[in-house]
């Protein structure tokens, strides 16, 4: 315990609820400012920068990719640094500085290079916020498109000043909370507020999928040859290489389940990027929508996600990551294919708009289901490695590194998704573009069945 006076208001500043709220506000700020410009980008490029109509989709896709590409580059270094520092507050605040600079550049920028630089800074901030934020949540207790909707409304009613003015207000609140928060580990130096098991993922019970439990109950004689416990299965016995000593999380990538969970993050982000990159331009072409209407259209996609997200998260804990991944990505297959119907203009315009909203809602249901399996599966596997190998991953464990890798794969999807979606939309049309991503979802569902949550159990009746 540290001698001397504790920091001002230590108890509530290190309270679990305040820490989680701070991280949540940070993530919301990042997502809000990311989504804020999504419905506005096509109109900004046309009116402010005078970009030709036939080049707008390409520019929109590339600006979205610039954000995600910067996050890809920044994610792993951020996780590496976070696992080797005593406090995560300083890097958490540095991410906010990058986000503030990006917001100013977006508000005032009048050239493509400035907008690209702003999106890159946003991407760096996102990597810091999500990597360190998730690690802080795990230390403490062991997902997002509202900005798109509000962005469209503000642009039509108040112009660019209203959009980025509101963003600045949210940034101010975010900065204050990040400045005040005291991490559990820092608070423990002054007080006994933190229990032994709180803030240390090693002491928390790892989640076990129901599939695994049932598989253990139905074990056969052949299972006698398999490891009896998680500790044996995840024990590291070989001498670590130089790369592993520098970045210990690399040893965990031997697990097919961890690799597949990262792939889920990639595909999930790619699907999200498809909507961000193509909905504003598609509805402008199909329905001649303004920024207001384009932003409001995201409500149809977001409401199912917001309402069903917590239910889907509970289902992952209750029924396992395998079921959620297979059902979720399987659901996305017909949901994506059906998005081609409005482009065929089979119905009068008002009914066609209603049809498009209904189909977006179906896609929102799928997005809610696939929102949790990746992070839950990855965290469980890495926790098992950490508990089975005391001291191997250092004092803080590999958790920030894990979320760095998760952020890398997720942002890789956000990088590749809009570029591929934009190119496919321009070359083969909106409907066929969605068909390609539907096939990707189908492949992901099949692989999830065989890998996520462990091998599938084949049940047979005794004769």
Angle at CA of residue 184, ends 180 and 185, nearest 5°: 115
Give the length of the chain.
463
Residue corresponding to tokens 């990639």 = 266
Q: Supply the pLDDT for residue 14.
A: 62
Q: Supply the pLDDT for residue 50.
A: 85
- What 3-state class would DSSP assign to 182? coil
Q: Supply the pLDDT for residue 182.
A: 59
Q: Supply the pLDDT for residue 309.
A: 79
Dihedral of the alpha carbons of 205, 80, 268, 124, in degrees to the nearest 10:
140
Residue 387 has φ and ψ, to the nearest 5°, of -70, -30
pLDDT tens series, the chain, 463 aa: 455 566 666 666 666 667 667 777 777 777 777 766 777 788 788 888 888 888 888 888 888 888 888 888 888 887 777 777 666 667 777 777 888 888 888 878 888 899 899 889 888 888 887 777 767 666 665 533 333 435 444 444 444 445 455 555 656 665 666 566 555 556 666 555 444 445 555 655 555 444 444 444 444 433 444 455 556 788 888 888 888 888 888 899 889 999 999 999 999 999 998 998 898 888 888 888 877 677 778 888 878 877 887 788 788 878 888 999 999 999 999 999 999 999 877 788 888 889 999 999 999 999 989 988 898 888 889 888 988 888 888 777 787 788 788 888 988 898 898 889 989 998 999 999 999 999 999 999 999 999 998 877 655 444 3
Question: What structural domains and CATH numbers belong to the chain?
Answer: 10-207+242-451 (1.20.1250.20)
Q: Supply the pLDDT for residue 307.
A: 80
Q: Supply the pLDDT for residue 87.
A: 64
DSSP letter, residue 86: S
Q: Where are the beta strands (DSSP E) in 355-454?
A: none
Question: Are 260 and 409 contacting, i.e. CB atoms less than 8 angstroms apart?
Answer: no
Closest of 135, 76, 74 to residue 99, by C-alpha: 74
Question: Are 145 and 301 contacting, i.e. CB atoms less than 8 angstroms apart?
Answer: yes
């Amino acid at each position: 315990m540290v001698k001397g006076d504790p920091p001002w208001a230590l108890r509530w500043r290190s309270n679990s609820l305040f820490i989680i709220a701070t991280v949540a506000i940070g993530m919301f700020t990042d997502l809000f400012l990311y989504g804020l410009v999504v419905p506005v980008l096509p109109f900004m490029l046309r009116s402010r920068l005078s970009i030709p109509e036939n080049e707008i989709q390409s520019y929109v896709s590339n600006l979205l990719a610039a954000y995600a590409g910067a996050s890809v580059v920044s994610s792993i270094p951020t996780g590496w640094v976070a696992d080797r520092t005593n406090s995560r507050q300083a890097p958490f605040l540095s991410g906010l500085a990058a986000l503030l600079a990006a917001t100013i550049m977006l508000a005032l920028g009048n050239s493509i290079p400035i907008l690209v630089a702003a999106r890159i800074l946003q991407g760096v901030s996102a990597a810091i916020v999500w990597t360190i934020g998730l690690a802080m949540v795990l230390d403490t207790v062991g997902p997002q498109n509202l900005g798109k909707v509000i962005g469209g409304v503000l642009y039509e009613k108040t112009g660019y000043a209203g959009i980025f003015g509101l963003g600045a207000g949210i940034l101010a609140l975010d900065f204050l909370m990040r400045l005040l928060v005291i991490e559990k580990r820092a608070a423990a130096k002054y007080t006994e507020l933190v229990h032994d098991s709180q803030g240390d993922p090693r002491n928390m019970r790892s989640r076990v999928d129901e599939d695994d439990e049932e598989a253990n109950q139905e074990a056969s004689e052949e299972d006698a040859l398999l490891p009896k416990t998680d500790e044996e299965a995840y024990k590291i016995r070989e001498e670590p290489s130089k790369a592993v000593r520098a970045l210990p999380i690399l040893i965990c990538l031997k697990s097919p389940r961890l690799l597949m969970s990262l792939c889920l993050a990639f595909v999930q982000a790619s699907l999200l990027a498809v909507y961000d990159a193509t909905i504003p331009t598609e509805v402008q072409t199909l329905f001649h929508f303004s920024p207001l209407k384009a932003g409001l259209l995201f409500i149809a996609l977001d409401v199912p996600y917001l309402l069903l997200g917590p239910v889907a998260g509970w289902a992952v804990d209750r029924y396992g990551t395998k079921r959620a991944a297979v059902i979720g990505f399987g659901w996305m297959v017909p949901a994506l294919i059906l998005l081609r119907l409005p482009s065929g203009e089979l119905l009068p315009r008002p009914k066609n708009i209603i049809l498009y909203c209904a189909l977006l809602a179906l896609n929102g249901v799928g997005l809610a289901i696939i929102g949790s399996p990746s992070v839950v599966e990855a965290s469980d596997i890495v926790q098992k490695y950490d508990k089975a190998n005391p001291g191997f991953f250092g004092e803080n464990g590999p958790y920030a590194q894990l979320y760095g890798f998760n952020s890398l794969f997720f942002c890789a999807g956000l990088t590749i998704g809009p570029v591929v979606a934009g190119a496919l939309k321009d070359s083969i049309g909106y409907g066929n573009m969605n068909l390609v991503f539907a096939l990707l979802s189908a492949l992901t569902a099949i692989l999830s069945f065989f890998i996520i949550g462990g091998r599938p159990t084949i049940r047979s009746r005794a004769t």
